[in-house]
Chains A and B, each alone.
Chain A
Amino acid sequence: MLNRQVWIVIAGMLVLIGAAGIINIFINGEHVMGTSNYVPWGSLIAFYVFFVATSTGFTFINSLAHVFKVKRFEFLSRRLTLASIAALLMGFVMIGVELGNPLAMVYIMISPNFAAPIVWMGLLYGLYLVLHIVEFIFQLKNNHKVIDIISPIVLAVAIAAQSMLGAVFGMSVARGFWNEAYTSISFIVLAFLSGIAAAVILTHILARKNVVGKADKKAIEQLQPVFSKLLLGTVTVVLFFTVWKWIYGLYGTMPGHADALQLFAGGPLTAPYWLLEIGFVFVVPILLLVFMKKRRDLALIFSSLSLMIGIFAMRVMMVFAGQMAPLQVVFGSESAQGIREVSILWSEWATAGFGIGGVILIYMIGEKWLDLNTASHDADVYEQKQETYEFAKS
């Protein structure tokens, strides 16, 4: 199948170029990254957040079937789990490249600091990966008994891990832009959003390219209104967080917070912020989903693509904005004027490409070697699908 080969070639290229970037970073260190001592966390941290959050989002969708017993998602569960594992693994690659000395992670076991959010994040994500793989194995074995037990745990761990990742930022007292309790909460919501959008893109391709059978294709079509509502609802919640972020920032005197917002309102991040965050995450999806009801399939895929790009940018801007406003160590000092520079250099872009290519490759390998079709001999499958259909019509 030519299509399949094209996908493999594209993904393979991304991985190869990415590998070059990763090797470059390993050899030359932060000299080939856009970071500095003032902006220590660069794009790779943002990419890490993006990938693991997308994984969390996949798990959320998946849990609709297994935890919340919304059966119409069940036929996707193996594929969603696989995609989730792939995204999670690529997230780990991002953080692995970001870490100057990843092997010292072993000291998280030897001499852990339980006060550090990163320890909990690390432990939870480690646990999440293990449980996820176990879950996937039992899904492949079609062992519902175990799946029913393990899936809620996976969801809980995923959410805990994601909110702990939020805390890694949120607990940075020095960085006013991040330092809020609701950083953890907004991380979860945004993770769901990226998971939903990614799931829409995945199912769209599955249906278009005839990867799945006719019945599943139909089921995917019938999921469109559900996805549409989920997307709209979640976008609204994210928007709610964003609006309050602005109001608190403009109203309050939290050091660093208002400075960071300045970056979006007349600073170096203004154009990307209003185009990619406000435009791609809010305006485009809301307009498409609300006004393009006639071609819901197109509205969904375009709004999801828009969302993925927008959320990707949002992650980067969140990381950057927290550090670009100089810390006021000594108020009014000459070195704390202006903006701390940060950029994304080719090795970092390549590493992001490695992640995207890697997700695609891992997923395609799964498609090739594993049976990802949820067993259809289940007696009530037809009934479920009917139910979905009815639901969609209503």
Chain B
Amino acid sequence: MPKMKRRSFLKASAVTAAAASVPLKMSFADYKEAAEEEEGYKIPTTCNGCSSMCGVYVHVKNDRVWRVEGHPVHLKSRGRICARGHGMAADMYNKGRVQGPMKRNANDEFEPISWEQAYKEIGEKLTETIDEHGGNSFLWLEHGVRGQRYANPLLDKIGSSNYVTHYSTCFSSKTNAWAEMVGTTLNGDHENAKYMIFEGRNFAGAIIPHGMNQITKAKENGAKIVVIDPKHSEIAKIADDWIPIKPGTDLAFRLALAHVLITEEKYDKDFVNGYVENFAEFWRENKDKSPEWAEEITGIPAEKIREVAHDLAANAPEAFIEPGWHGLHCHYVNSTQTAQMGIVVNALLGNFYKRGGLMPSADPEFGTFEHDGWSEEEKGPRADGAGVAGEHYTVEASRGIAQTVPDMIEKGRIKAAFIYHFNPLRTAPDPEYQKKIKNADLVVSINIDWNETSVYTADYILPESYYLERTEVPQAVSGHISHDYPQISLRQQVTEPLHDTKPLREIMQGITTEMGMGELYDYSLDDEIEAMLEPTGLSAEELKEKGTVELQTNKVEASFPLCPSGNPNLATSTGKIEFSADKFRADGKAGIPTWIEPKVMPDPSADDEFRLIHGKQPYHSHHVTSNNPDLIKLTKKYNGTAMWMNTKKAQKLGINDGDIVTVSSDMTEKEIDVKVTELIHPDCVWISSAYGGFSDRLETAYNLGVNYNDFIPVMVEPYSGTTMSQEVIVKVAKGGVS
């Protein structure tokens, strides 16, 4: 992390001292000693290594961020933090950071510009665009939710419905299914479970440290872990059973699980009778989805499927299919149905709102901050067509479709775009196509570093302060793991900003003031914090001091939500878990999940054809960490960029471990080295999602490895709008690109 460049320092001292080596020794010792004597301090805040936002303490020494440790209270870290959390703290000092506002000039180069000038120019341009094309021609594109707080006032004021998140590249199929069938999302209660299935879900790759701690604890207490994944992922390492499924066929596996549970009457009848709607219709549609049927499709023996179903039933309700996250939920044309079937199987086990089954998050009650100037104008239809009849009606409008921004611009729907902490040029399919985002009249990238999107598309880059340099509003600690009491955590400034950067609220205030709407953001962060904390009884001082606080209110109970009348009260039309998503039906699609073939399949007779699959490495958060020297050190040491290929297939192709191969799809061809391993299904090859950087201003990431997005065209999954990022067949040939 922050260290004196010892090598150059030594060079200097060695030169001055000629061949004598005394100074080498003395300098080294002196440096260490000095470092140890210096007084340091630590500040609680939240991590930004991924979107889990674990609580951390950041230690500062000699005015430099030294190291981080997990916050002992925060339920996602509980004193433990993963490699990314440690590594990304040091990114504050990364050379790839944008050090002040930038403007693209006539020569297509970036030149520094003052904040005032940037606000003025952007404000003018945006006003012009809105006047000419209407407020709905403005797009706010971001990773998701963190910028929304400051995007909404502007979007509402100018009347734009175009708030789009990265979720369609990540897990919209899951959230869509849950919203329509359950009306909320629940999390696995790993700690109390007796049987857990992680299907296409690498909990040890996309890490919540305390979540993993609970999983390993449960295992120590006798819980069984089954991992279903074409690749032996990190979570498979601690599984009792790894079942390598033919990629793209998880839906068939889940249909067969349901089939066993129903035909053998091993499902929770009371639960289904009381809390499930459309069970009969579901069964009518899927009576023929037997384990034998699924064996043909998945390659998993029917007996194995039965065994898993029996074990699930035997351990129910302390058994579940982990609801998951990215894995499976934006990968295939049948991802939405796969997610639906996750709900169906879990409901058949009767594990909803049960300890050891699926449990809700405990949520604190935040106050809302009311301020002047916020008015809601009438908004036009969404430019991405999400939720729009006749377009992508079944796609959640709150999440949108991130991969089709160039299309929105081409159609003239979007004229100006603000892109906040999102890098579609590297994390959405087909980067060449994504480069057309530049064709908008105004593109502003609000980001930390010189990412591909900023470099290739932005007219202005407005660098936000690093997460250790800024304070944000309090957050509810929730998502993906189960807990009884709500927690509130605060991200707060640890050190002074290194560069000429600002927090998002100030940036928005600067721009909107130039647009004559300064009142939109005319308040202080402290005002917001105070208003939000008001109902919790927690003071801002206490939260700042403690970083993360657990409340003793709003305890989560293991009971199905009921009306006062005693009827089920989920946020669905019947209050029950609905095995049919009615909204899908309204669009002429199937509401009940049933088998849908994957869009593409490798030709079984062609040895060189593979489905290209990808996943998270435990030390990278997709591409966002790929310029971090500390984490890339791990990549290099452990050959993290290599493509995994099954040994038998490799032998057929004459490929040895470490060989360079050419991977090609309809989109592109790339060179990569191969890791030949038994630990992957022969039908697919696997690469990490972290690499393939092509911004030459990010030295560490530049030209390191390849990215799956290079190989896939922009596609939109019909139900939930996701990228279907594993619906791609590649050919692999020994040797480099000719």
Q: Interface on A for B, CB 8 Å cutoff?
A: 22-23, 26-29, 100-104
Give 9 closest A-B pairs by Cβ, nearest first: A27-B14, A101-B25, A26-B19, A26-B14, A27-B11, A103-B22, A101-B21, A103-B21, A102-B21
Q: Mark B706-720, 1 if CB is under 8 A from A, else 0.
A: 000000000000000
B24 at the A/B interface (Cβ < 8 Å)? yes
B280 at the A/B interface (Cβ < 8 Å)? no
Cα separation A100 to B24 with both chains bound (whole Å): 9
A-B contact pairs, 17 of them (CB 8 A): A22-B19, A23-B18, A23-B19, A26-B14, A26-B19, A27-B10, A27-B14, A27-B15, A28-B11, A29-B7, A29-B10, A100-B24, A101-B24, A101-B25, A102-B21, A103-B21, A103-B22
Instruction: Give, as a whole number of angstroms, the nearest-CB distance from A387 to chain B.
Output: 50
Contact A103 B15 (CB under 8 A): no
For the complex with contacts A27-B10, A103-B22, 7 further pairs of A-B residues with Cβ separation under 8 Å are: A26-B14, A29-B10, A100-B21, A100-B24, A101-B21, A101-B24, A104-B25
In chain B, positions 6-52 with a C-beta closer than 8 Å to chain A are 7, 10-11, 14-15, 18-22, 24-25
Cα separation A27 to B13 with both chains bound (whole Å): 9
Contacts of B19 in A (CB 8 A): 22-23, 26
Total B residues in contact with A, Cβ cutoff 8 Å: 12
Contacts of A29 in B (CB 8 A): 7, 10
Cα separation A85 to B24 with both chains bound (whole Å): 30
Cα separation A100 to B21 with both chains bound (whole Å): 8
Instruction: Give, as a whole number of angstroms, the nearest-CB distance from B650 to chain A.
Output: 16
Q: Mark B350-375, 1 if CB is under 8 A from A, else 0.
A: 00000000000000000000000000
Contacts of A27 in B (CB 8 A): 10-11, 14-15
Complex: chain A residue closest to B14, CB-CB: A27
Contacts of A101 in B (CB 8 A): 21, 24-25
Complex: chain A residue closest to B12, CB-CB: A27
Complex: chain A residue closest to B639, CB-CB: A334
Contacts of B14 in A (CB 8 A): 26-27
Contacts of B10 in A (CB 8 A): 27, 29
Cα separation A29 to B25 with both chains bound (whole Å): 13
Cα separation A103 to B20 with both chains bound (whole Å): 9
Instruction: Give, as a whole number of angstroms, the nearest-CB distance from A111 to chain B.
Output: 15
Cα separation A223 to B10 with both chains bound (whole Å): 53
Instruction: Give, as a whole number of angstroms, the nearest-CB distance from A354 to chain B.
Output: 12
Instruction: Give, as a whole number of angstroms, the nearest-CB distance from B680 to chain A.
Output: 15
Contacts of B22 in A (CB 8 A): 103
Contacts of B20 in A (CB 8 A): 103
Cα separation A27 to B20 with both chains bound (whole Å): 10
Cα separation A372 to B11 with both chains bound (whole Å): 44
Contacts of B25 in A (CB 8 A): 101, 103-104
Cα separation A181 to B18 with both chains bound (whole Å): 41
Instruction: Give, as a whole number of angstroms, the nearest-CB distance from B656 to chain A.
Output: 12
Complex: chain A residue closest to B19, CB-CB: A26
Instruction: Give, as a whole number of angstroms, the nearest-CB distance from A102 to chain B.
Output: 6
Contacts of A22 in B (CB 8 A): 19
Instruction: Give, as a whole number of angstroms, the nearest-CB distance from B669 to chain A.
Output: 28
Instruction: Give, as a whole number of angstroms, the nearest-CB distance from B677 to chain A.
Output: 9
Instruction: Give, as a whole number of angstroms, the nearest-CB distance from A34 to chain B.
Output: 18
Contacts of B15 in A (CB 8 A): 27
Cα separation A23 to B21 with both chains bound (whole Å): 11
Contacts of A28 in B (CB 8 A): 11
Cα separation A266 to B18 with both chains bound (whole Å): 44
Instruction: Give, as a whole number of angstroms, the nearest-CB distance from B675 to chain A.
Output: 9
Cα separation A28 to B11 with both chains bound (whole Å): 7
The residue in B18, B21, B22, B24 that gathers the most chain A C-beta atoms within 10 A of its C-beta is B21
Cα separation A103 to B29 with both chains bound (whole Å): 14
Q: Mark B70-84, 1 if CB is under 8 A from A, else 0.
A: 000000000000000
Contacts of A23 in B (CB 8 A): 18-19
Contacts of A103 in B (CB 8 A): 20-22, 25
